[in-house]
Amino acid sequence: MDNSNNNCIICGKKSIYNMTCRCSQWTCKKHRDPVKHNCTFDFLEHFNSQNKEKLPSIEAKKLTTI
């Protein structure tokens, strides 16, 4: 199927509501879910890496002995 006109990669439907997935494939509303168009983007890894960057690192201070 020709995606030069932003057609859905599954059904070939051309619509103003077609959108690009994070795997850079055009999909219609019906095939928007990653499971329905065999998405290759790793959402879990993406969100885990974002969360690691946002979390502050907490370091405990060492106690001095008397």
What CATH number did the domain enclosing 27 receive?
4.10.1110.10
| Domain assignment of residue 15, yes or no | yes
| Domain assignment of residue 50, yes or no | no
* pLDDT band of 4, cuts 50, 70, 90: low
Question: What residues make up the domain containing 12?
Answer: 1-40
Residue 39's pLDDT is: 87
**pLDDT tens string 10-47:** 888 888 888 888 888 888 888 888 888 888 888 888 88
| Domain assignment of residue 51, yes or no | no
Q: Domain total for the chain?
A: 1
Residue 11's pLDDT is: 87
Residue 2's pLDDT is: 46
Find, among 34, 29, 37, 33, the residue nearest to 9 by Cα: 37
CB 41 within 8 A of CB 22: yes
Reported in sequence order, the residue ranges of the chain that DSSP labels E, i.e. its strands, are 19-20, 26-27
| Domain assignment of residue 53, yes or no | no
| Domain assignment of residue 48, yes or no | no
